[in-house]
């Protein structure tokens, strides 16, 4: 796999899950043409007070090990292998998303928005240079 051609990796993003409890998930994300592979670090419940709700142990080592091995895999094999390690709701098939867009706006006006099934539209904050690359990567 070749970075920029077959995948884009974003180390840090915050996902507004848009649930009633105000859950925000900090995650790393591998974007392939077919999948958004979300590697959650921790989730916070914002509405009921800031506090860690869930943490994935040893996530730094997990991310480092995958980054160090991407060149060894074909895209399909990589997607299949990493999905085995992710929670099922964190491997998102792009073509099955009800809504998928990359907004280039400045600061909080830029995001990646997506909808899983008929659920709420979730918003992922990603640094501006990565949003530029993703917009081109997906041809949006």
pTM: 0.84
Residue whose C-alpha is closest to residue 86's, from 132, 127, 25: 25
Beta strands in the chain (DSSP E): 7-16, 23-32, 35-45, 52-55, 91-93, 97-104, 110-116, 121-125
In a domain, 1, yes or no: no
Check: CB of residue 24 under 8 Å from CB of residue 44: yes
In a domain, 108, yes or no: yes
In a domain, 55, yes or no: yes
In a domain, 109, yes or no: yes
pLDDT tens digits, 14-52: 888 776 667 788 899 999 999 999 988 887 776 665 565
Confidence of residue 130 (pLDDT cuts 50, 70, 90): very high
Q: What is the per-residue pLDDT for 19?
A: 64
The residues facing 112 across adjacent strands are: 102, 124
| Dihedral of the alpha carbons of 11, 71, 95, 120, in degrees to the nearest 10 | -20
Q: What CATH number did the domain enclosing 41 receive? A: 2.30.29
Q: What is the per-residue pLDDT for 51?
A: 61
In a domain, 127, yes or no: yes
What distance lies between CA 53 and its chain's CA centroid?
Answer: 19
Domain count across the chain: 1
- Domain of 69 in residue numbering reads as 7-137
């Amino acid at each position: 796999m070749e970075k920029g051609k077959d995948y884009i990796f974003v180390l840090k993003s915050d996902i507004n899950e848009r649930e009633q409890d105000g859950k925000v998930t900090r995650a790393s994300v591998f974007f392939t043409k077919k999948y958004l592979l979300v590697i959650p670090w921790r989730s916070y419940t914002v509405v009921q007070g800031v506090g860690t709700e869930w943490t994935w142990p040893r996530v730094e080592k997990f991310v480092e090990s995958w980054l160090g091995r991407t060149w060894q895999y074909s895209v399909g094999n990589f997607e299949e292998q990493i999905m085995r390690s992710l929670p099922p709701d964190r491997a998102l098939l792009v073509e099955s998303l009800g809504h998928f867009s990359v907004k280039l706006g400045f600061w909080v006006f830029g995001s990646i928005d997506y909808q899983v099934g008929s659920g709420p539209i979730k918003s992922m904050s990603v640094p501006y240079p990565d949003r530029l690359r993703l917009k081109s990567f997906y041809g949006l």
